[in-house]
């Protein structure tokens, strides 16, 4: 057995103990400390649990959230513009992750990139007029974020940010005072508070609109096949569905290729 394999095995033992003690330690954190890919670490971890017949429940993403938020240096030591109480950050990021679960963004995803994206958007949305201009990289430097949470997985974080912003934009367009208005991904954080307060109603409205658009598209297709049917010619057609069903969401937002240990948050309906 090579030295690298021994180090990975030792890391897997640490991860196994953390899981048995219900400590919120992600596989990505151990992988970063060892300097190995999650796929390699995950393969050895599976071999270890199988050989020793260890039954360990998968840790949920919400279990990691609180300790993750407290890793950021955004307390009183920061200037007022950047400072944010950790518990307030936890509450807002938790609401965003629940929304992500409703939109099927959590399933099949690595927890660390999703946590990083949620915390960044939560921080922006708690003071959007001032913080909206700060990029993700700048936020990481301001909060002195641990390197394992963003450096190696930056591409995955960017994908999670895009997915979250897309969902927020789709729901933001359903707000009664913005119906028909344009909602841009770069400025949607200004609407996060209103979206989260009315999350269930907006999701239901978006689903109804999506179903109506599918019906309109079906009628238009039938009209194209039967030009003589004049009653169908006035049926509106929509090009962009507002919300995806579960199957379509998984197709458009494919799971990460790396091994994951992320579960849906409990009671996220």
CB count in 10 Å sphere of residue 210: 19
- Is-contact 56 20, C-beta < 8 A? yes
CB-count exposure of residue 84 (10 Å: 0-12, 13-18, 19+) = buried
What is the spatial distance between Cα 163 and Cα 243, in angstroms, rounded to a whole number?
Answer: 12
3-state secondary structure of 233: coil
- Summarised one tens digit per residue, pLDDT across range 129-188 is 999 999 998 998 888 876 665 677 788 889 999 999 999 998 888 888 877 678 898 889
- Look at residue 208 and tell me whether its pLDDT is greater than 60: yes
- Look at residue 14 and tell me whether its pLDDT is greater than 60: yes
Average pLDDT, the chain: 79
């Amino acid at each position: 057995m090579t030295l690298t394999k021994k180090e990975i095995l030792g890391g897997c033992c640490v991860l196994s103990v953390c899981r048995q003690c219900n400590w919120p330690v992600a596989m990505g954190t151990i992988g970063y400390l060892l300097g190995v890919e999650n796929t390699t670490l995950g393969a050895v971890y599976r071999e270890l649990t199988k050989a020793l017949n260890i039954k360990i429940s998968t840790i949920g993403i919400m279990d990691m959230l609180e300790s993750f938020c407290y890793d950021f240096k955004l307390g009183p030591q920061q200037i007022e513009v950047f400072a944010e109480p950790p518990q307030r950050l936890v509450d807002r990021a938790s609401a965003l992750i629940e929304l992500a679960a409703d939109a099927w963004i959590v399933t099949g995803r690595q927890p660390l990139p999703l946590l990083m994206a949620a915390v960044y958007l939560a921080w922006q949305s708690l003071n959007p007029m001032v913080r909206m201009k700060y990029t993700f990289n700048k936020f990481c430097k301001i909060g002195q974020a641990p390197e394992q949470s963003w450096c190696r997985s930056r591409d995955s974080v960017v994908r999670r940010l895009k997915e979250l912003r897309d969902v927020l934009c789709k729901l933001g367009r359903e707000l009664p005072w913005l119906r028909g208005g344009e909602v841009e991904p770069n400025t949607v954080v200004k609407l996060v508070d209103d979206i989260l307060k009315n999350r269930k109603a907006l999701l239901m409205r978006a689903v109804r609109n999506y179903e109506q658009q599918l019906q309109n598209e079906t009628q238009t297709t039938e009209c194209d096949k039967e030009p003589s049917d004049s009653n169908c010619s006035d049926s509106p057609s929509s090009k962009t569905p507002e919300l995806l069903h579960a199957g379509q969401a998984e197709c458009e937002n494919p799971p990460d290729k790396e091994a994951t240990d992320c579960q849906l948050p409990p009671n996220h309906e």
